[in-house]
Amino acid sequence: MSLKRTLLATAIAGLGLLPLSSVANEKVDLIITDAMVLTMNQDKTVYENGTVIVDGNKIVAVGDSSLAKQYSSDTVLDVDGDIVMPGLINTHTHVSMTVFRSLADDVPDRLHRYIFPLEAKLVSRDMVRIGANLGNVEMVKGGVTTYADMYYFEDEVAKTVDKIGMRAVLGETVIKFPVADAANAEEGIQYALNFIEQYKDHSRITPAFAPHAPYTNTTETLQKIAKLSLEKDVPVMIHLAESHREQEKIAERSDGLSPVKYMDSIGALNKNLVGAHMILVDDEDIELVKKSQMGVAHNMSANIKSAKGVSPALKMYDQDVRIGLGTDGPMSGNTLSTIDEFNQVAKVHKLVNQDRAAMPPIKVIDMATMGAAKALHMEDKVGSLEVGKLADIIVIDTKAPNMVPVYNPYSALVYSANSANVRHTIVDGKILMKDRNMLTVDEDAIRKEALEFTKVVRSTVIESGEVVQ
C-alpha cells in the first residue's frame, strides 16, 4: 500500500468510520510477531511482546505486537515468545579451516609447527570452497549473519557467501612466504586487488586485504597495503598483538616498539584496520587504538585454548573502542558461532578482574552485535533492530529445556544458550534457516563433500606422519 493510501486509511480509521485493522493494512514481505524483541539500539529497548516488520531487505517497523495489526504479509513468523534479536556478527575467522578442525589441538607452537606446513600441503580452491560451505552452514545455524574472514582464494569463499545469502567481509591473505595462491607478498597484494575489483559493488560482500600479521610481512608491504586500502576504502584485517613471538620480532625490527605502536609508527594504524586478538596491549596502545578508530576482534575461546592470554577487551569496550566478538578459525576456537563464546567471554573477564559484576551479560550481547558492527564499520547498516537497518535477524528458542525459564533474556543468552537454540536466521530480509532447516543450500550434500575431503586430509597428513599430530 502506498504511503498516501496508508495515511488516508489511518485518517478514516481515526474518524471512527472503520476499525484500524481492517483498513490500515500495509503489505510487507515479513512479519515477526509475539516476540521478546531485544533491539540492541542505543537505549537497549526491549519489547516483551514485540514485533519486527520487514519489507525488502530492510526493517520498516519495530515495536509492541499491536503494531503488527497495521501490516499484512504472506510470511508471518509468530514466534510464541521466543527471543528476537539482531543477527550475530563474527568479527574474525578462517571459515575454510573447518576441514582441519580437531587436528593437533594441543601441539605447542602450533601455527608454525603444524598449521603452516599443513596448509602448504592442502590449501586449494576446492579445500577453500568445501570448508567455507560447511562453515557457512555452521554459522547460519548458530545465528551468525555477518562474518569477517581471512584466508586464501577468498573469491571461492565469496561464491559460497553469495550462494547461501550471508553477509561477509572477506580478506585475501598477504604473507611473505609462498602460499597456495601467491608466491610472495606482492602476488598476494595483486590477488587481493583483483578480488577487490571483482566484489567491490556486491551488496552483501565487502572485499578486503588481510596481511597475516605484522611479523609475517615486511614494513614495506604493510605500508603499501595501508595506502591501497585508504585509496580504495576497503578494510584491512590483521592478527595483531597476539603472541610473544610477534612481540619480540616487532621489537627487534622497531627499536623496542609494541606491535600496536609499530603499526602506528609506520602509518598503518587507521580506521580501515581490524586487529584480531589484541592481547598484548597496554594503556598507551589502547589510546592509539581509540584515536585511530580501528576495529578490534576479541576471540576469547581461541585465546584461552592456546594459552596466549586474555585481551583487555573489557577495558577497551568501556573506553568506547570499536570492539566485537570473534571465534577465530575452526582450528583455533573450534566452533564458529559467537553464541558459544558468550559464556566464556563473560566468565573469564570476571575471573581476570576478580569481580563477579565486571562483565554483565548485556555487555557481552552488545559486543556480539553493535560492538561487532562498529568493529567492522558497519554500524549504520547492521548490529541492531532499528527502522531503516538491514533485516539481519535471529530467533532464539526459549522453549528448549536449557532455556526455561527466561527471567532475564541477556542472562539466558549468555549463561544458558548454545548455538543449537537458534531457531530461525534471516539475512537481508531473506530466511536462510527456518526451524533449523537450511533453505538456500543443501546441508547434507555440503557435509558429505566435507567428509569426503577429510579422506584427503587423513591420507596426505596423518598417515604420512610428515606433520606433527
Enumerate binding residues for Zn ion (CB under 5 A).
328
| Residue 93 or 416 with smaller CB distance to Zn ion | 93
Give me the residue whose beta carbon is nearest to Zn ion: 328
| Residue 182 or 274 with smaller CB distance to Zn ion | 274
Check: CB of residue 160 under 8 Å from CB of residue 205: no
Strand pairing category for 83-86 and 46-55? unpaired
From the CB of 39, what's the least distance to Zn ion, in Å? 31
| Residue 156 or 242 with smaller CB distance to Zn ion | 242
DSSP H helical ranges for 123-218: 125-141, 154-164, 185-199
Dihedral (C-alpha) 383, 376, 140, 434: value to the nearest 10 degrees? 30
Dihedral (C-alpha) 385, 388, 390, 395: value to the nearest 10 degrees? 30
Tell me which DSSP letter residue 16 carries: T
| Residue 179 or 412 with smaller CB distance to Zn ion | 179
Residue type, 47: Y
From the CB of 328, what's the least distance to Zn ion, in Å? 5
Query: How many CB atoms sit inside 10 A of residue 2's CB?
Result: 8
| Residue 328 or 366 with smaller CB distance to Zn ion | 328
| Residue 97 or 137 with smaller CB distance to Zn ion | 97
| Residue 171 or 361 with smaller CB distance to Zn ion | 171
From the CB of 396, what's the least distance to Zn ion, in Å? 27
From the CB of 210, what's the least distance to Zn ion, in Å? 10
Angle in degrees, CA 174, 369, 427, rounded to 5:
80
Give residues with Cβ within 8 angstroms of 143, minimum separation 6.
87, 88, 337, 338, 339, 394, 396, 419, 422, 425
From the CB of 351, what's the least distance to Zn ion, in Å? 23
Q: Distance between CA atoms of 193 and 180, rounded to whole angstroms? A: 17
Q: Which three cell numbers stand for residue 67?
A: 503494531
From the CB of 98, what's the least distance to Zn ion, in Å? 14
From the CB of 93, what's the least distance to Zn ion, in Å? 7
